[in-house]
Amino acid sequence: MADKVLIYSRFPKTMMARFAERFELLDTGGKPAQDVFSGNELAGIRALLTAGGSPLGAEAMDRLPKLGAIVCYGTGYDGVDLKAAAARKIAVGHSPGANAASVADIAMTLMLAATRRILIADQYVRSGDWASSRQSPMMRPQAGMPGRRIGVYGMGEIGRKIAARCAAFEAEVGYFSRTKHDLPYQYFPSLEALSDWCSVLMIAVRAGAETQHVVNADILKRLGEDGYVVNISRGSVIDEKALVAALSDKTIAGAGLDVYQEEPHAPDALTVLPNVVLSPHIGGHTLDSHVAMQNCVLANLTAFFAGRPLPHAVKTA
Amino acid sequence: MADKVLIYSRFPKTMMARFAERFELLDTGGKPAQDVFSGNELAGIRALLTAGGSPLGAEAMDRLPKLGAIVCYGTGYDGVDLKAAAARKIAVGHSPGANAASVADIAMTLMLAATRRILIADQYVRSGDWASSRQSPMMRPQAGMPGRRIGVYGMGEIGRKIAARCAAFEAEVGYFSRTKHDLPYQYFPSLEALSDWCSVLMIAVRAGAETQHVVNADILKRLGEDGYVVNISRGSVIDEKALVAALSDKTIAGAGLDVYQEEPHAPDALTVLPNVVLSPHIGGHTLDSHVAMQNCVLANLTAFFAGRPLPHAVKTA
């Protein structure tokens, strides 16, 4: 009989196909597990698969008394209460680096699309405004990439890939992270200092309680009226209300967002703005990235059910 | 009295502001010069400013008997009949390289926006389809950049900048140009061979009579169903009808276009397609690029009226 895996978050079925070949999946479709499965069914669950951002605390763990492994699809694990898991001897795994290039690429896509106003440009062509010479204030030339000061917040695998890509665009690259690395980019000792210096802020920090709303009204003001924010980390890092206000009153010029405070919802105040480019958390959403992430999930689950340690375990400090 | 310059193409007035400080501008607004100005007015014209793509042949030159300098705004000069100009001892100038980074950046923007389907992604968020979990076949994961084979057609200043940027995305880069260069990218001896190898074709070739419609149905078929075409050169390089057909019947996956056969018109058959990203010839349209191009124009016009050779003259083979 196949080992059972609880699918704790909402995932498209196509993404689960490879796991279904090896395991018996109990799919909650993102609903509370106890609403979908009986206590009896849940009592037997030893492993679950979750999206790292989905809240998964002590209470949820206690409804699964035999739970031994929490496997996150992707890099993030910010929704998982690591202390509660450790106290219950539940191993936590993820897919470190598997989607780094794909996520860095969506960061670049959002930055370029926002700064070069590609949504407006496309609409200008499709609407016929170009053909009829209609003037559009949104089509005014913007600052280009060469010489642009791009600040990368967080210098993990994704941050490094973003920095390398930005450097190829002849931009100046600076960064802030907890520790200074041996990298050919200017280091700033605080997010404030980085934001004073740069006009594009790329958020690539690992999200957690200590990064909650650190990109706030003050940081946005420091970016200035030519400033852009790109977020591919987690929605929680930005104070979303402050961002909407800064975008609406032109405190900053624009934003490119792949993540939101309450996914899959993007607030109406954001979706009506012309100076933002929005994507539905598709940073890791490429064929190669999915295969790499699935490989990590399969390796973690296979090791767990064989009684071995997770090969891609979350490293806790 | 200020020297007179005929503005031969349609340019936004804001782009002409710096020239108006130094010269008396006779602006045709893109209409035939003889419809806007009297024969007497045109008889005195010694220099004109044109967009390189605007047709400017022997007949137009003969209407300006004192014409001594044709200055192109931007890199291209494909609309200018160089032989006719040479026969009349008219110097031809342009802005070589001034917009190379800006144009390379729009090529990257279009490639990333098309391959990551950012227009569809943005609409998926804004429409509420994401929030309501509506499935979209257009949101299926696509191939990412790492390992992608990107073919650059043309290895001038823009082609080199595109290649360097693509390499930073961990893609494989190949190229075809008339001559093999000492560059760290694979050289292909023909456009056919390059198209067989790559899945993204970046058109960065200098346009002219010999490149007319060279990207045709055969080339597109070689790119294959995962293939993309990005054109930031001139619309004339692509057989636009063949491109629309290939995009409609899924011979290729998508395209990103900044240039069209008959600007400022993009054909309806193109503007209704969901798998294209369209921009209104804004490759060189950044603040820094405009300043650099204007510097070239001013240097050319100033030298001409002072009786010196053009510092940024078109080099004829």
Residue whose tokens read 């070689």 = B222
Encoded tokens for A302: 């296979």
**Marked catalytic residue, from A117, A234, A290, A312:** A234
Enumerate residues 27 to 66 of chain A having a beta carbon within 8 A of any beta carbon in chain B.
none
What pLDDT, on the 0 to 100 scale, is given for residue A122?
A: 98
Whether residues B192 and B250 share a domain: the answer is yes
* Spatial distance between the Cα atoms of A224 and A215, rounded to a whole number of angstroms: 14
Q: What is the pLDDT of residue A184?
A: 96
C-alpha span between A40 and A99 (Å, rounded): 36
Do A113 and A230 reside in the same domain of the chain?
yes
**Does B84 lie in the same domain as B162?**
no
Residue type for position B70: I
* Cα pseudo-dihedral B164, B95, A125, B248, rounded to 10: -50
Residue B316 lies in a domain: no
Residue B271 contacts residue B119 (beta carbons within 8 Å)? no
Q: Do the Cβ atoms of A165 and B169 come within 8 Å?
A: yes
Report yes or no on B317 lying in a domain. no
Residue A195: CB atoms within 10 Å: 24
* Per-residue pLDDT tens over the stretch B244-276: 999 999 999 999 999 999 999 999 999 999 999
Kindly name the residue from B165, B206, B281, B312 that is annotated as catalytic.
B281
Please state the domain count of chain B: 2
Do B286 and A143 make contact, defined as CB atoms within 8 angstroms? yes
Query: Is 60 exceeded by the pLDDT of residue A259?
Result: yes
Residues A86 and A217 reside in one and the same domain: no
Domain identity same for A194 and A267: yes
Residue A15, domain member (yes or no): yes
Q: For residue B62, which phi and psi values (nearest 5 degrees)?
A: -70, -20
pLDDT above 80: residue B225: yes
Among the partner residues A141, A271, A290, nearest to B141 by beta-carbon distance: A290
Mean pLDDT of chain A: 95
Domain of A140, in residue numbers: 100-278
B276: nearest CA in chain A? Answer: A122
A63 in active site: no
Does the beta carbon of A160 lie under 8 angstroms from any beta carbon of chain B?
no
Beta strand pairing status for A254-257 and A276-278?
parallel
Give catalytic status of residue B140 as yes or no. no
In a domain, B310, yes or no: no
Of B285, B254, B102, B113, residue with least CA distance to A113 = B113
Q: Region A111-136: what's the mean pLDDT?
A: 95
Give the residue on B whose Cα is nearest the Cα of A148.
B288
Closest-approach residue (CA) in chain A for B257: A122
Contact B119 A119 (CB under 8 A): yes
Same domain, yes or no: B137 and B123: yes
Mean pLDDT computed over B1-20? 92
Q: Which chain B residues contact residue A168 at CB under 8 A?
A: 164-165, 167-168
Check CB contact of A248 with chain B, cutoff 8 Å: no
Assess whether B263 carries a catalytic annotation: yes
Q: How does pLDDT run across A149-167, given as a tens digit for each residue?
A: 999 999 999 999 999 999 9
pLDDT tens digits along A28-44: 999 999 999 999 999 99
ipTM field: 0.92
Given a cut of 90, whether residue A221 has pLDDT beyond it is yes
Does the residue A314 lie in any domain?
A: no
Are residues A85 and A200 located together in one domain of the fold?
Answer: no
Domain CATH for B15: 3.40.50.720
Residue B311: band (very low, low, confident or very high) from pLDDT cuts 50, 70, 90:
very high
Mutation target among B119, B125, B272 for the A interface, most CBs of A within 10 A = B125
CA–CA separation, A47 vs A257, rounded Å? 32
Mean pLDDT of chain B: 95
Q: Are the Cβ atoms of A168 and B168 closer than 8 angstroms?
A: yes
B123 and B266 assigned to the same domain: yes
pLDDT tens digits, residue range B50-83?
A: 999 999 999 999 999 999 999 999 989 999 999 9
Catalytic residue among A10, A46, A116, A263: A263
Nearest to B148 by CA among B174, B125, B126, B172: B172
Mean pLDDT of the A224-245 span: 97
| Average confidence (pLDDT) over B280-285 | 94
> Is B191's pLDDT higher than 70?
yes
Compute the nearest-CA separation of A49 from chain B (Å).
19
Q: Are residues A159 and A265 in the same domain?
A: yes
Q: Which residues pair with A255 in a beta bridge?
A: A229, A276
Residue B317: the pLDDT is 53
B279 touches chain A (CB under 8 A): yes
Tell me: do B111 and B27 sit in the same domain: no
Question: How confident is the model at residue A317, as a pLDDT?
Answer: 52
Q: pLDDT digits over A42-75, tens only?
A: 999 999 999 999 999 999 999 999 999 999 999 8
In a domain, A20, yes or no: yes
Task: Evaluate whether residue A311 is within a structural domain.
Answer: no
Q: Give the pair of three-digit tokens for residue A242.
A: 């402050």
Confidence of residue B89 (pLDDT cuts 50, 70, 90): very high
Are A121 and A219 in a shared domain? yes
In a domain, A12, yes or no: yes
- Kind and range of the H or E run holding A302: helix A287-305
3-state helix, strand, coil in chain A (%, to 5): 40, 20, 45
Residue A120 distance to chain B (closest CA, Å): 9
| Same domain? B143 vs B236 | yes
